[in-house]
Structure 1
Amino acid sequence: MYYNPYPIFVYPTYYPTLAIVNPPALHQPARYLAMPTNPINTNPFPAVNTNKLKISAKRVKRIMQQIQLLTDKIDGSEQFAHDLMDAAQKSNKSEVERLIISTGITMTFETNYTPDNIRIVFTDIECCKLSLVLSW
C-alpha cells in the first residue's frame, strides 16, 4: 500500500484562480532616456552638407589617374614589372619608390610589400587615401 506523508491532498483545481486587474508589465519603460528629446529637432545628426564629399570625390579621381599611370606601366613593360617585383622581394625600398616615381606619379605614397603582394597607399593630405594592392 502507498504511504502518503501529507495528511491533506492538494490539488490545484481546489483553489480559485486569482484574477489580476492590472497585470504587471514584463518590461518597465525607462524613466530617463539616454538622449534628451528635443521637440524642435528630432534628428540627432547635423544637417547634410555634401560639399566635402564632392571635393573628396574629385580628388580621388586624381589619385585614380595617378594609379592608372602605374598600372599601365606595369602592364605595358615586362622589364618594369620584373624590376619592381624583384626590388620588392629584396626589400629594396628606395628602388621600389624610385621605380614608382619613374612612372610619372607626383603625389605622396607609402609602399608595403610581402612575398605575396605589394600594397601602395596613395594619400591626398587634405581629404582621402586610396590603397592599391597588387598580387604576384
Structure 2
Amino acid sequence: MYYNPYPYFVYANHYPPWATSNHTTPSPLPSHLAMPTNQPTTSPFPPVNTHKLQSSAKQVQTIMQQARLLTDKIDGSEQFAHDLMNAAQLSNKTEVDKLIASTGISIKFDTKYTPDNLRVLFIENGCCGLTLILNW
C-alpha cells in the first residue's frame, strides 16, 4: 500500500467554497499585494561603456600573435614538439617553461599539463587572457 506523507492536496486554482460563494468575479488585489505595472525607469545595470571591451579585444590580438609563435614552433620543428611533450609528460615544469619561452614569447604565461594535453594560459596586464590547449 502506498503511504502519502502529505495528506492535503494543494491545487493552484482551488479555493475553499466559502471564499468564492459570494463573488462571481475576482476582486482586484489590494495595491500593496499587486505586482507593479509600471516599468522601472532606471536599469539595475550601469550604462553600457564599450571602451574596456574594445581595449580587451585589442590586447587579445597581441596575445594571439604570441600564441602563434608557440604553435608555429611546434608545427615547424618535430624535435621541439618531442622535447616539449617529453618534458610535460615527465612533469618537468621548468623545462616546459624554458622551451616555451625559447619560442620568443614576451608576455607572461602559465603552463599546466596532464597526460593528455598541455594548457598554456597567456595573461596580459590583468585585462584579458587566452588559454591554448594542445592535445596529444
Cα distance in structure 2, aligned partners of 1:101 and 1:90:
18
Cα distance in structure 1, aligned partners of 2:31 and 2:114:
55
* 1:22 to 2:25 alignment: yes
Name the SS of the counterpart of 2:96 in structure 1.
helix
Matched letter for residue 125 of structure 2: I
Matched letter for residue 31 of structure 1: L
Matched letter for residue 72 of structure 2: D
Gaps of 5+ in 1: 1-17
Distance apart, 1:109 and its partner CA: 0.7
CA deviations over 1:24-61 (Å, ceiling 9, x no partner) = 68x9987387xxx75xx332221111111111000000
Cα distance in structure 1, aligned partners of 2:30 and 2:79:
72
Q: Percent identity?
A: 57
Partner in structure 1 of residue 110 of structure 2: 110
1:1-136 matches, within 5 Å, as: 18=21, 20-23=23-26, 31=33, 38=40, 41-136=41-136
Cα distance in structure 2, aligned partners of 1:28 and 1:116:
64
| TM-score of the two chains, using structure 2 as the length reference | 0.74
CA deviations over 1:48-100 (Å, ceiling 9, x no partner) = 11111111000000000000000000000000000000000000000000000
| Structure 2 CA distance for partners of 1:119 and 1:32, relative to 1, 3 Å | farther
| Structure 2 CA distance for partners of 1:110 and 1:28, relative to 1, 3 Å | farther
Gaps of 5+ in 2: 1-20
| TM-score of the two chains, using structure 1 as the length reference | 0.74
